[in-house]
Amino acid sequence: MTDTAFSVSVARPGAVRVAFAGLVTALAAGVAEGLLRAVRGGTEFGATATGLLPRLAIYLVVLGVAMHMANGSRVSRALLTVGIGMIGLVSLIIEPLAVLLSTDDFGALFGGLAPDSAVLVACRAVHILAVVLAIPAMYTPAAHRWFTQR
């Protein structure tokens, strides 16, 4: 008998593919938002050209961890859950939530939205939605079975 007789090759479940695609989409939206903020200028984290470098480094690390997750790494799945699904998601939500809670006139808040600001809002919304879809996808029953068999 050969070693291959004992190894079971199980196809990557669709939920894991969805999770990986969601994470890549979130990263792309984050890069787009960072680039737009750098072009616009500003004082928030990552808004300058030099501020983009740490953000891009973080995104590359997250991409590497996501690739490991897509290959069955339970540790990577846990890191993504805590890092992206908790800490990262809170960091994405806190700024827009603070703005929404600080206004009394939602019409004025959204009525004068410049086109570049609308693109920023769209990038942030895509980023959040992609994370909200990706993290639970890693914990569907099929994905859970696949990770535990690896």
pTM of the complete model:
0.84
Mean predicted confidence (pLDDT) in 104-131 = 87
pLDDT tens, residue by residue, 48-105: 666 788 888 999 999 999 999 999 999 999 999 999 999 999 999 998 899 888 888 7
Interval 17-32 mean pLDDT: 97
Pairwise pLDDT comparison (140 vs 50), residue with the higher score: 140
Q: Quote the CA–CA distance of 59 and 71 in Å, as a whole number.
A: 18
pLDDT band of 1, cuts 50, 70, 90? very low
Tell me how far apart the alpha carbons of residues 102 and 112 are, in angstroms, rounded to a whole number. Answer: 16
- Cβ neighbors of 44 (< 8 A, separation 6 or more) are 37, 95
Residue 5 has pLDDT above 60, yes or no: no
Which one has a higher pLDDT value, 113 or 62?
62
Please list, residue by residue across 36-65, b when 16 or more beta carbons sit within 10 angstroms of its beta carbon and e when fewer do: ebbeeeeeeebbeeebbeebbeebeebeeb
Find the mean pLDDT for residues 21-38. Answer: 94
